[in-house]
C-alpha cells in the first residue's frame, strides 16, 4: 500500500463547489477522534473537488480567452465606419456641423440686415431693410432649432455607440470576475488537499516487539513477534514497517542476517536494504491488535558486532493518506558461533536515532540506505499542490502559464484603451455643446 498517494491535479474549483469543503479540511490531525471527523470531507472528496476545480479553472481561462477575443472584435467593429452605430454617429455629427454652420450663416445675415437698417436713409429703404432683418431673424430662429435638434440626434447616436462599448466591456468584466473567483477557489482547494495530504504523527499507533534477544549467536535462528496496536479513536489501514541491520554495514553488502515475516500464510523475506512495509493490515479498529511473526537466521560466520532493528507502522484512513506511528529501535549484539551467553534479556525498545526515523516512498525514489543502516528517505509533508513540480503546477493542468490571468488582463487593457479615450472625448464634446 502506498501511503504517499499522488495528490490529484488541482488547478481550479467550480464556483458552485461548497467552500466549506475546503475550509474544514485542516481540522483533521493526529489524534482526532472519529466523532470529530464525521463532518469533515474525506480525502477522496477533496481529491474530487480539486479535480473539479482544475476543470473549472481551465474552463474559466478558456472563457476569458474567448471573451477577450470577442471584446476586441466588438470594439474593432464599433470603430469601423461601416458599423451601423458608428455610421449613424458620423452622419449625425456631420448633420450637427452643417446645422452649426447654417446657424452661423443665419447669425451673420441678421448682423448684415441690422447694419443695412441702420444705414438706410429713406423711409422706403428703412422699410425694405426692416423686412430683410425680420426675415433673417426668422431664418436664425429656424437655424437655432435645427442645430439643437441635430445636436440632440448626434448626442443620442454617440451615446448609443458608447453604450455598446460599455456593454461589451462589462460582459468581459463578468467573465474576468468569474476567472478571479475560480482562481481563488482553486487555491482554497489546493490548500485543503495539501493540508489533508501532509503526513501526521500518531503516537497511539504502536509497533512493539517481544521475544527478540539482546544477544544472538551466529549460526542460530531466533523467533519474535511484532504486535501492532491501534490506540487511536479511528479505524486505520495499517502497514507495519520493519528494518533489521548490522551496524556499519554498507548498501549492497551481504548481510549475515536473514529475516522473514509471516501472518500465518507462508513466509516472506525482508530485503534488508532499507525499511519496508510488511504484512499490510486492511482495517484495524480502535483498540485492535495484529501480530506479525518474524524469524531471524544469523549466518554461522557472522562476526561479533552490534545490530539493530527498527519497527513502526504507517497508516491511512478516509481523511488522511499518511499517518506515521512512532518508530522504536531495538539494539542487540551478534556473538560468534558456539557462544553460550546463558540467560539473555530481551532487547528493549528505545528511541530511534537521528538517521533512523526514515520512511519509504517519502521522497524521490532511488536513494539508498545510510551507512548506519537507516534508510535515507525520510517522511516529508505530502505536497499535492502549490509548489513547483507538484500537482498544483499549472503546467500540468493544461493551461499555458500561471500568468495567464495577468496576461489576459493586460491585453484587455490595451484593447479597452481606445474605447476609453473615445468615451472621454465624446463626453467632453457633449459638454461643450
**β partners of residue 200:** 323
Closest CA relative to residue 64, chosen from 160, 154, 190, 174: 174
- Residue 65: count of CB within 10 angstroms of its CB: 18
**Cβ proximity of 197 and 362 under 8 Å:** no
In tens digits, the chain (433 residues) has pLDDT values of: 333 322 222 333 333 344 444 444 443 444 554 445 557 899 999 999 999 999 999 999 999 999 999 999 999 999 999 999 999 999 999 999 999 999 999 999 999 999 999 999 999 999 999 999 999 999 999 999 999 999 999 999 999 999 999 999 999 999 999 999 999 999 999 999 999 999 999 999 999 999 999 999 999 999 999 999 999 999 999 999 999 999 888 776 788 999 999 988 899 999 888 899 999 998 999 999 999 999 999 999 888 999 999 999 999 999 999 999 999 999 999 999 999 999 999 999 999 987 788 787 543 322 333 333 333 334 433 333 333 333 333 333 333 333 344 444 444 444 444 444 344 444 444 444 4
139 three-class SS: helix
331 Cβ partners below 8 Å, 6+ apart? 214, 306, 307, 308, 347, 350
Question: Containing H/E element for 50?
Answer: helix 43-79
As given in the structure block, the three cell numbers for residue 300 are 554461522
Q: What is the DSSP letter of 120?
A: -
CB under 8 Å to 94, separation ≥6 — which residues? none
Q: Residue 127: which H helix or E strand, with range?
A: helix 123-197
Please give the pLDDT value at position 274.
86
Task: Say how far apart CA 12 and CA 399 lie, in whole Å.
Answer: 11
pLDDT score of 36:
53
Q: Give the H/E segment covering residue 128.
A: helix 123-197
What does the CA dihedral 115, 116, 121, 127 come to, rounded to 10 degrees? -120
**CB neighbours of residue 401 within 10 Å:** 11
Residue 399 burial (CB count, 10 A): 19
The Cα 230–Cα 49 span in angstroms is 30
DSSP class per residue in 173-197: HHHHHHHHHHHHHHHHHHHHHHHHH
Predicted pLDDT at 4: 33
The CA–CA distances, whole Å, from 348 to 211, 220, 325 equal 10, 21, 18
Measured CA to CA, the distance from residue 2 to residue 46 in angstroms comes to 18
Task: Tell me the angle at which helices 123-197 and 404-432 cross, rounded to the nearest 10 degrees.
Answer: 160
Contact 57, 65 (CB under 8 A): no
Strand partners, 224: 294
Question: Would you call 164 helix, strand, or coil by DSSP?
Answer: helix
Distances (CA, A) of 217 to 65, 303, 305, 306, 335: 74, 10, 11, 12, 5
- On whether the CB atoms of residues 230 and 204 are closer than 8 A, the answer is yes
φ and ψ of 373, to 5 deg: 105, -20
Q: What is the DSSP-derived secondary structure letter of residue 394? A: G
Q: Would the pTM count as exceeding 0.95?
A: no
- Coil, strand or helix at 306: strand
Amino acid at each position: 500500500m502506498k501511503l504517499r498517494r499522488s495528490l490529484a491535479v488541482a488547478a481550479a474549483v467550480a464556483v458552485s463547489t461548497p467552500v466549506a469543503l475546503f475550509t474544514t479540511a485542516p481540522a483533521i490531525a493526529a489524534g482526532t477522534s472519529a466523532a470529530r471527523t464525521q463532518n469533515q470531507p474525506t480525502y477522496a472528496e477533496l481529491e474530487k473537488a480539486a479535480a473539479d476545480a482544475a476543470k473549472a479553472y481551465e474552463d474559466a481561462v478558456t472563457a476569458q480567452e474567448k471573451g477577450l477575443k470577442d471584446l476586441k472584435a466588438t470594439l474593432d467593429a464599433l470603430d469601423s465606419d461601416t458599423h451601423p452605430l458608428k455610421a449613424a454617429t458620423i452622419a449625425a455629427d456631420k448633420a450637427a456641423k452643417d446645422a452649426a454652420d447654417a446657424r452661423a450663416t443665419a447669425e451673420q445675415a441678421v448682423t448684415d440686415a441690422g447694419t443695412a437698417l441702420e444705414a438706410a436713409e429713406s423711409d422706403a429703404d428703412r422699410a425694405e431693410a426692416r423686412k430683410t432683418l425680420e426675415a433673417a431673424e426668422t431664418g436664425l430662429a429656424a437655424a437655432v432649432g435645427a442645430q439643437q435638434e441635430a445636436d440632440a440626434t448626434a448626442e443620442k447616436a454617440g451615446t448609443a455607440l458608447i453604450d455598446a462599448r460599455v456593454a461589451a466591456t462589462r460582459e468581459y468584466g463578468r467573465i474576468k470576475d468569474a476567472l478571479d473567483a475560480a482562481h481563488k477557489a482553486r487555491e482554497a482547494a489546493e490548500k485543503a488537499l495539501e493540508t489533508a495530504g501532509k503526513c501526521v504523527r500518531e503516537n497511539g499507533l504502536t509497533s512493539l516487539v517481544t521475544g527478540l534477544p539482546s544477544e544472538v549467536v551466529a549460526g542460530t535462528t531466533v523467533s519474535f513477534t511484532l504486535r501492532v496496536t491501534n490506540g487511536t479513536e479511528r479505524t486505520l489501514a495499517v502497514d507495519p514497517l520493519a528494518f533489521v541491520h548490522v551496524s556499519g554495514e554498507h548498501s549492497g553488502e551481504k548481510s549475515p542476517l536473514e529475516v522473514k515475516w509471516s501472518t500465518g500464510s507462508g513466509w516472506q523475506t525482508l530485503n534488508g536494504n532499507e525499511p519496508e512495509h510488511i504484512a499490510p493490515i486492511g482495517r484495524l479498529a480502535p483498540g485492535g491488535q495484529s501480530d506479525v511473526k518474524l524469524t531471524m537466521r544469523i549466518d554461522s560466520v557472522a562476526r561479533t558486532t552490534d545490530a539493530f532493528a527498527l519497527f513502526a507502522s504507517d497508516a491511512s484512513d478516509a481523511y488522511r493518506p499518511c499517518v506515521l506511528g512512532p518508530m522504536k529501535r531495538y539494539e542487540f549484539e551478534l556473538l560468534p558461533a558456539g557462544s553460550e551467553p546463558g540467560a539473555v534479556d530481551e532487547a528493549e525498545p528505545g528511541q530511534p536515532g537521528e538517521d533512523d526515523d526514515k520512511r519509504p516512498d517519502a521522497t524521490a525514489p532511488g536513494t539508498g540506505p545510510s551507512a548506519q543502516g537507516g534508510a535515507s528517505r525520510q517522511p516529508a509533508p505530502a505536497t499535492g499542490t502549490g509548489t513547483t513540480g507538484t500537482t498544483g503546477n499549472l503546467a500540468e493542468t493544461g493551461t499555458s502559464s500561471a500568468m495567464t490571468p495577468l496576461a489576459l488582463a493586460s491585453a484587455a487593457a490595451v484593447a479597452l484603451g481606445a474605447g476609453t479615450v473615445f468615451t472621454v472625448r465624446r463626453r467632453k464634446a457633449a459638454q461643450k455643446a
